[in-house]
Amino acid sequence: MTAVVEVTDEEFGAEVLGVADRAVLVQFTAEWCGPCRQLAPVLAELAGEERERLKVVQLDVDRNPETALAYGVMATPTLLVFRDGEPVRSMVGARAKRKLAQELAEVLNA
């Protein structure tokens, strides 16, 4: 299983926007967010299974408000998928692995 990488406002450009070889899934999360904790093992599994096509990172909105504000994140968990530095898919709320995989399929297969 591949670990989900934690990123900060300062690292966001290099770790997310600068990735050209695969899509990047960003989970906007917070320590107090129950649904975020439920989603963590799902994201860790996906990170391992799709590591060739998908990089998974998380950003704590309380410690890194600039990035959350820049992308209009109003709720946690919010999942944003980036391809070539641009957001291409947005999802709000926890979901089962199968549903998330279905939602990601069109982005990953692009």
Instruction: Give the whole-angstrom CA distance, residue 67 versus residue 88.
Output: 16
When pLDDT is cut at 50, 70 and 90, the band that residue 3 belongs to is confident
**Burial of 107 per CB tally in 10 Å (0-12, 13-18, 19+):** middle
Residue 36 among the catalytic residues = yes
CATH topology of domain 5-108: Glutaredoxin (3.40.30)
Q: Is the pLDDT of residue 97 over 90?
A: yes
Q: Identify whether 49 is a catalytic site residue.
A: no
Considering the entire predicted model, what is its pTM?
Answer: 0.94
User: Domain coordinates of the chain in residue numbers?
Assistant: 5-108
pLDDT at 37 over 70: yes
Catalytic residue (one of 23, 36, 43, 81): 36
80 half-sphere exposure, CB direction, 13 A CA radius: 23
Q: Determine which one of 33, 54, 73, 81 is catalytic.
A: 33
